[in-house]
């Protein structure tokens, strides 16, 4: 079975540009979450969506936005890129939301470099 897939795998952008990252969850999973992982740190929560509705938002500026589509795939958008946005962006899917017995399964991420 296919796991969580993310595209692109790598991306280089210039400060001030905009970027869109894509994620397809594991088949049957209805929840998608986005995390940012800076080198040497643990992942930090950005958003969670369930059944196309936002269920949680982390401490990130409004430049970050996301949405979930009817097929449960998701996009993360970041506007007005800053050098500090350089990181590994991870997408995770789960069957449900809000319960501990539905662990998050992560994709391999998109490595974003802002120059």
> What are the DSSP E strand ranges found in 19-109?
19-24, 31-37, 44-50, 53-57, 64-68, 74-78, 87-94, 105-106
| Span 16-45, contacts to other proteins by CB under 8 A | 31, 33, 35, 40-45
From 13-21, 65-73, 76-84, 89-97, span contacting other proteins (CB under 8 A) = 89-97
Shortest Cβ distance from residue 55 to other proteins (Å)? 4
**11 contacts other proteins (rule: CB under 8 A):** no
**100 contacts other proteins (rule: CB under 8 A):** yes
């Amino acid at each position: 079975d296919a796991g969580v897939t993310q595209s692109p795998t790598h991306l280089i952008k210039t400060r001030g540009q905009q970027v869109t990252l894509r994620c397809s969850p594991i088949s049957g999973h209805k929840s998608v979450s986005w995390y940012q992982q800076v080198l040497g740190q643990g992942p930090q929560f950005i958003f969670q969506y369930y059944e196309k509705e936002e269920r949680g938002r982390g401490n990130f500026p409004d430049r970050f936005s996301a949405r979930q589509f009817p097929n449960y795939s998701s996009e993360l958008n970041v506007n007005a890129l800053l050098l500090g946005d350089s990181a590994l962006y991870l997408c995770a899917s789960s069957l449900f939301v809000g319960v501990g017995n539905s662990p998050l399964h992560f994709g391999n991420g998109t490595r974003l470099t802002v120059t």
